[in-house]
Structures are given as structure tokens and as C-alpha cells.
Amino acid sequence: MMRLLQPTRVMRNDSPAMRGLFWILALATSATQVLCALGSGDPDTAQPLADWINTTANLLNILIAVLVLLPATRFWGAVAAAIIMIVSAITNFQVDGYAYFLKVLPFDVLAFALAAVVAWHHRDDVRGRA
């Protein structure tokens, strides 16, 4: 368990300022996933998804938020966060409608961008370089 909390090679090679910046970005990425879990779906949707799908997606968002916070799993958590934001945007468009899609698009883009930057920065933790 303690290994999950230890700084990764990338984190050890970062300057203190960069380490702080990427902790802030990881916290922001994690927060976007929690916000997704708390506010998923438009209640006015004509054909809402089944409750079990929303519940599963919300639990997945919480799991991803935890993965992003743990240094050892940060890369994979950030990749999962980016993927789920793409799926979320597609679902918002196809299920919730164009108006809701446009309403939440800035949030989806920001959440995707944060996750992509965190994943890109930590890519060498998976490749074995740093």
C-alpha cells in the first residue's frame, strides 16, 4: 500500500515547482471526476439511461479520481479520465441532446485537457524512463 503513495521516477526528477504544479493538476483532474459523479446527466432527458448505467459511471468516476491521486497509478488514472470524458461528451450529445451538450462542453473539454496533460507528463513512469 505504501508503494502506491511513493513518488514515481518522473516526480523525483521534477523540480519542486514542477512537482507542485503537477500535484495541482492531478488534484484538479481528480476533482473533475468527482464533479462528474455528482452531476451526471440532464434530468430533463427524454430518454434517460438506466439507473444502473448512471450508478456504474459514477462509481467509475470516483475510482478514477482515486487513481489520479495515487502517484503509482496516476498515469493510468489520467488516461482513464481522458477516455471517460470523451465518452461523457458523446453521451451528452447523443442522449441528453444538443442544448445540454453545449452547456457542459466547456467542462468536458477542460476535464479532458487536464487529464491529457497529467497523462502526458507521467508517460515515462509507464515506459520505464525518467
Q: List the domain range (segments joined by +) for residue 90.
A: 2-127
Q: Is the pLDDT of residue 22 over 60?
A: yes
Decide: 32 and 110 in contact? Cβ < 8 Å: yes
Percentage of the chain exceeding pLDDT 70: 91
Give dist(CA 116, CA 103) in Å, integer.
22
Check whether 110 has a pLDDT greater than 90. yes
User: Residue 13 above 70 pLDDT?
Assistant: yes
129: pLDDT confidence band, cut at 50, 70 and 90? low
Cell of 97: 441532446
pTM to 2 decimal places = 0.90
Per-residue pLDDT reduced to its tens digit, 58-109? 999 999 999 999 999 999 999 999 999 999 999 889 888 888 899 999 999 9
What domain count does the chain have?
1
pLDDT at 56: 92
- DSSP secondary structure letters along 87-100: HHHHHIIIII-HHH
